[in-house]
Amino acid sequence: EADIYQTPRYLVIGTGKKITLECSQTMGHDKMYWYQQDPGMELHLIHYSYGVNSTEKGDLSSESTVSRIRTEHFPLTLESARPSHTSQYLCASSGNRGLGSPLHFGNGTRLTVT
Amino acid sequence: DQQVKQNSPSLSVQEGRISILNCDYTNSMFDYFLWYKKYPAEGPTFLISISSIKDKNEDGRFTVFLNKSAKHLSLHIVPSQPGDSAVYFCAASAQGYSGAGSYQLTFGKGTKLSVIP
């Protein structure tokens, strides 16, 4: 059973709209991440956070932004959606045990921008 | 430049036989490796990991082998079961090196395993 929740699961939206993808975790993890994945491709890190008020960009450039005001919540926002943003977005978190803390993923949001 | 490579996009295995999924990496800084399993419409779930100080880690039907000199790791599933049918992702990180990037994972493209009953 997932302890990290993403909403919505699926989203179809028109070009130019502002969207926010929600991610919440109940495990008290300090570290949270957003990955982007296209079908048949690897997951790419686009944002990460090591705690409240800490956010960094990942190795894949993204026009999205994130915020971390509360430990359990790590929303991702696209100010103006474009068809190139069509992808699956996966949120993850990890604990504080260093090497013993694998990522826990949510079930993802599949975004389609028309 | 892809640092973690899974060169087989798919693999089919008979139920009860061994499944071997392979992964190669190029970054010699990687010192921690993980395998994740992903079912359709779900997020990846952690399966098994190995530190670079080991060459083998076993958990039930799953064993991961690491060959550092060849920069190669493999996941063995024995015996394979139909419920093992999923996409398997290899991932690596350079956790031994401090800094903001030490907990980031670099993923391969995945191998789709089909276990035939």
Residue B86 confidence (pLDDT): 97
Rounded mean pLDDT, A17-40: 93
Residue B98 confidence (pLDDT): 42
Give CA–CA dist B52/B10, Å, rounded: 27
Q: What is the DSSP annotation of chain B?
A: --SEE---SEEEEETTS-EEEEEEE--TT--EEEEEEE-TTS--EEEEEEETT-SEEEETTEEEEEETTTTEEEEEESS--GGG-EEEEEEEE-TTS-SGGGG--EE---EEEEEE-
Of B2, B42, B46, the CB nearest to A103: B46
Residue A100 confidence (pLDDT): 55
Of A33, A48, A107, the CB nearest to B42: A107
| Residue with the two structure tokens 């999924």 | B21
Element (H, E) at A57: strand A54-57
Give CA–CA dist B12/B101, Å, rounded: 36
Residue A102 confidence (pLDDT): 81
Residue B101 confidence (pLDDT): 45
What are the CA-CA distances from residue A10 to residues A38, A104, A112, B69 (Å)? 14, 20, 8, 43
Looking at CA atoms only, how far is residue A64 from chain B in angstroms? Answer: 19
The DSSP bridge pattern shows strands B86-93 and B106-107 to be: antiparallel
Residue B96 confidence (pLDDT): 56
Contact (CB<8Å) B46/A2 = no
Q: Is the pLDDT of residue A2 over 70?
A: no
**In a structure prediction context, what are the per-residue pLDDT tens digits for chain B, which is 117 residues long?**
789 999 999 999 999 999 999 999 999 989 889 999 999 888 999 999 998 999 999 999 999 999 999 999 999 999 999 999 999 999 998 865 444 444 678 899 999 999 999
pLDDT band with cut points at 50, 70 and 90 for residue A95: confident
Residues 6+ apart with CB under 8 A from B16: B79, B80
Rounded mean pLDDT, A31-45: 91
**DSSP 8-state assignment for residue A63:** S
Query: Residue B4 — φ and ψ, nearest 5°?
Result: -125, 120
Rounded mean pLDDT, A26-47: 91
A5 contacts chain B (CB < 8 A): no
Rounded mean pLDDT, A2-19: 94
| Residue with the two structure tokens 């089909």 | B114
